[in-house]
């Protein structure tokens, strides 16, 4: 029997695949883990971190936070950050930040494993590019930094349950 081309290669996305299938993770966490599969190691980490920082700045009321978030969402590059944002939008800002920090931790660990594997000259499975184009080919979000913050920015159903218990 002929062995597969991928038998003796390490899959850098294995932790993301596991997280995407783990029934103990929130549905939003499983969704964003799936969104990150195949993304470039550094790009995925820094993009998730940049999005988390922008959401955090808006939540904390930092000057320029809204502008930073609208610049990210209106960027004509690939849709990775938009996909992450819209998978989490409206669920409550605390849960959104928690999920982004969770993903950021997974992606940071993925980067450390990739670096160690490269130093040890371990064969790696190629990442499968999740996007067919390097830029968005459809409409993107409006870039008005004076957007109105709806209830998901200050009402978090997860926190209400925690306080009642």
pLDDT (tens digit per residue) in 83-129: 999 999 988 899 999 999 999 999 999 999 999 999 999 999 888 88
Instruction: Give the distance from CA 139 to its chain's centroid.
Output: 20
Work out the mean pLDDT of the chain and round it to a whole number: 86
Q: What is the pLDDT of residues 44-74, one digit of tens each?
A: 999 999 999 999 999 999 999 999 999 999 8
> Can you give the pTM of this predicted structure?
0.82
The DSSP code sequence of the chain is -PPPTTTTSB-TTHHHHHHHH-TTS-HHHHHHHHHHTT--HHHHHHHHHHHHHHHHHHHHT-TTHHHHHHHHHH-SB-SHHHHHHHHHTTS-HHHHHHHHHHHHHHHHHHHHHHHHHHHTT--BPPP--S-SSSB--S------TTPPP-GGGT--HHHHHHHH-
More confident residue, 6 or 144: 144
Of 1-15, 36-50, 119-133, 150-164, the poorest mean pLDDT is in: 150-164
């Amino acid at each position: 029997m002929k062995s597969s081309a991928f038998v003796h290669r390490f899959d850098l996305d294995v932790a993301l695949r596991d997280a995407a299938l783990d029934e103990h993770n929130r549905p939003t966490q499983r969704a964003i883990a799936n969104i990150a599969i195949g993304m470039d190691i550094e790009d995925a980490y820094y993009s998730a971190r940049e999005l988390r920082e922008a959401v955090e700045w808006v939540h904390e009321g930092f000057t320029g936070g809204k502008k930073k978030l609208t610049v990210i969402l209106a960027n004509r590059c690939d849709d990775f950050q938009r996909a992450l944002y819209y998978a989490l939008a409206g669920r409550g800002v605390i849960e959104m930040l928690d999920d982004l920090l969770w993903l950021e931790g997974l992606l940071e660990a993925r980067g450390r494993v990739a670096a160690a594997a490269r130093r040890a000259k371990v064969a790696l499975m190629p990442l499968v590019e999740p996007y067919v184009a390097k830029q968005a080919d459809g409409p993107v979000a409006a870039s008005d930094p004076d957007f109105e913050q709806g209830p998901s920015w200050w009402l978090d159903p997860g926190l209400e349950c925690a306080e009642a218990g």
